[in-house]
Chain A
Amino acid sequence: MTAVAGAPQTPQQEAKTVQLNLIQAVNLALREEMRSDERVLIFGEDVGARGGVFLATDGLQAEFGAQRVFDTPLSEASIVGAAVGMAVRGLRPVAEIQFADYMYPGIDQIFSQAAKIRYRSGGQFTAPLVIRTPSGGGVRGGHHHSQSPEAYYTHTPGLKVVMPSTPFDAKGLLKASIRLDDPVIFFEPKRLYRAFKEEVPEDDYTVPLGKAALRREGHDLSIIGYGGVMPDAIKAAAALEKEGISVEVIDLRSLIPWDKEAVLESAAKTGRVLLVSEAPRTANFMGEVAYVVQEELFDQLQAPVMQVAGFDTPYPYALDKTYLPGVNRMLRAAARLLEY
């Protein structure tokens, strides 16, 4: 299936690998792209000497100098706006927005300029830029450091929207995003920044956008998710396996474009689909996935498509654990699905 094609490849024998967590993988991706392309510039709030509040840009200013890695005024509008103008003039800006929750002051620049300049100029001007930003909950960050706003961006034609859940993917997807000729909103699930390490090749590779990863193969039920919920989705699948239920787990990895083929193939095989994300439920991107699955596979489904998501409340600090769809909520939803 196509999901396999996009899954992390076993690194070749000769290739050297290192154990990295997700944030270190981001850092390595940035470093490699800066080394290979002088047009790549990195800027944002505190990304210079400080190396970013999460250390994504750690050491980059020291290596590449303040011409290429620099701090900006505390203004998302000017960070995104400047990235647009630089990209139009031929550079490859990678801007950091400190938290996805703080993108809003720059959102007109994303929606009206970055996303549209290619289209409205008839292809004369383009904005190949990447906006990296930590998103999602689970780090006791409270309301303004925990939101999952990806649906706003998936609803805006002209943007590509990415969210890795592993260090390997983070490096490969970020490198692919920087090389793309389109604006990319690159969400990094901050609760996975240091959650685990894995082997990441030290050499050049990319993970293409629009290809899901098959995290686990199964035939009774498909769990489909992306970003911060993935480790729990895999745990839920393992728990079900113990009860003799075979679960397939798919990580979308990018939302625009998304791997419809992989999802439909899996859904057709298992007949039962559980969609998992931590974003508020209403108008969640997974609604789009559910809609496509039922439109294409209405006859083949054994049960209605179900969704486990966040709630339609602003993010609650003290109730972090309650808000996020953990393993138990996934298991209860799976039980309902399997009852049909």
Chain B
Amino acid sequence: MFKPFTDQPIVRIGEDGKKIGRWSLDLEAAQLLRLWRDMVRARIFDEKLVTLLRQGKTSFYAQSSGMEATQVGIAHGIRAGYDWVWPYYRDQGLALAAGFPLKDLVAQSLGTNDDLCKGRQMPHHFGSAEHRFVSISSSIANQVAPATGTAMAQKYLGSDEITVCTFGDGATSEGDWHAGLNMAGVAKAPVLFVCENNQWAISAGIATQTASQGIAIKAKAYGMPGYFVDGQDVLAVREVIREVAERVRSGEGPALVECLTYRIGTHSSADDDSRYRSREEVELWRGRDPIRRFERFLEAEGLLPDAETLSGIRAEINAEIDGVLAEAENNGYPTWDSMFDDVYADLPPHLEEQREFLRREQEAL
């Protein structure tokens, strides 16, 4: 049983890849390799999307490089595809590792015909009902109270699903965050809140967000346990999330997990991070690369596949993403009349008129 409210982050693997403390590995080599693969896939996806952006094929992207251990750890700790997720806009690593189809993610970023969200949101705000991954909203922290509501519904329906709600450290300053956690505590809703504390909210550092000792401790105020985890350690994240998620599932009420991590890229495609943080700091955290740390661990355990196998996997991922990207671009874009769909369940008269107006205008073109 992990302890809440620790001063030091919960950790399983040291920087050098050695086990910290005494614990036994309950994962087989194939599962460990899966964790590695999912992190690498998220990293490569980041690189590809940045390229896509430079080519002007998409207009927005929020990198998650540096945060792979946190996101992949979360995905592997929950019942992916069964539990409901109210994510935030930087969760591609979580989404991909949880089985969110790559092609749907890409289609959303390009706003093509295949976009499940029909080209409605800005790029990189994906969602899939089939995968129980609720469409991402740009508005910071406004997924928190709805996540509580979904969990309340699950409890009411007698389901053993739980709801997972993720957000950055900046989100914890918003009123909605506090409102959502407070209600979850009162309602004993089966919701697992996870802060991906990457230490920056655009250019505002964590000290601008809170005067408390981190985020996990805030859970105390809402009557739930708060866990402080080393977010660069995929095993620690996976283990804590798994244990806490099952406790939430068993009806013990909500919990908060804070994963201390770092985004090594810019905030978004529109950001220049050299204006607000030193290169030394970024380099320091580049050195704390979660993928490298995990590789050192696998090596120490004698479980790291040979270089050829690893580069074979990388090549496979590269080919997979390239293939999806090449295909995605050929799928055309939503047509003008789709603009009026899904505002309401049925088209009310005023929208019908407006669609008719646009139709005449389009025909005159």
Contacts and interface: CB of A to CB of B under 8 A. Distances in A.
A117 B147 CA distance: 13
B121 A120 contact: yes
A121 B136 CA distance: 9
A158 B183 contact: no
A330 to B, nearest CB: 27
A122 B119 CA distance: 8
Contact of A82 (B84, B152, B157): B152
B129 interface: yes
Contacts of A85: 86, 145-153, 163
Interface stretch (B172-180, B230-238, B288-296, B303-311): B172-180
Contacts of A256: 348
B44 interface: no
Query: A81, A91, A128, A160 — which one has the most chain B CB atoms within 10 A of its CB?
Result: A81
A52 B39 CA distance: 51
A122 B118 contact: yes
A119 B115 CA distance: 13
B117 A260 contact: no
Contacts, number: 159
B331 to A, nearest CB: 14
Contact of A113 (B146, B182, B183): B146
Interface in A90-149: 90-91, 93, 105, 108-109, 112-113, 116-126, 128
Interface stretch (A20-28, A72-80, A275-283, A312-320): A72-80
A246 B162 CA distance: 62
Please provide the 6 A-B residue pairs with the shortest distance between their CB atoms, ordered closest to farther. Answer: A81-B145, A85-B149, A82-B149, A85-B146, A122-B118, A181-B345
A182 interface: yes
A157 B142 contact: no
A257 interface: yes
A10 interface: no
Contacts of A86: 149-150, 152-153, 156
A304 B110 CA distance: 49
Contact of A91 (B84, B145, B153): B153
10 contacts: A75-B182, A75-B183, A77-B176, A81-B176, A85-B151, A91-B153, A122-B115, A124-B129, A125-B134, A210-B348
B179 A158 contact: no
Interface residues of A, number: 49
Contacts of A274: none
B349 A82 contact: no
A121 B348 contact: no
B347 to A, nearest CB: 10
A82 B348 contact: no
A336 interface: no
B135 A125 contact: yes
A112 B137 contact: yes
Contact of A260 (B125, B128, B179, B349): B349
Interface string B340-364: 0111110011100000000000000
Given A85-B150, A258-B350, 6 more contacts: A82-B152, A88-B146, A88-B150, A119-B343, A120-B120, A120-B121
Contact of A89 (B149, B179, B341, B345): B149
A55 interface: no
Query: B84, B344, B349 — which one has the most chain A CB atoms within 10 A of its CB?
Result: B344
Contact of B116 (A67, A89, A121): A121
Nearest to A91: B153
A82 B348 CA distance: 27
B154 interface: yes
Interface string A219-259: 00000000000000000000000000000000000001110
Query: B86, B145, B154, B350 — which one has the most chain A CB atoms within 10 A of its CB?
Result: B145
Nearest to B347: A257
B3 to A, nearest CB: 28
Given A81-B145, A126-B345, A121 B156 contact: no
A81 B134 CA distance: 14
A116 B127 CA distance: 13
A123 B183 contact: no
B139 interface: yes
A258 B134 CA distance: 31
A57 B183 CA distance: 21
B183 A124 contact: no
A158 B344 contact: yes
B186 interface: yes
B144 interface: yes
A83 interface: yes
Contacts of A185: none
A77 B127 CA distance: 23
Contact of A257 (B137, B142, B186, B348): B348
Contacts of A93: 149
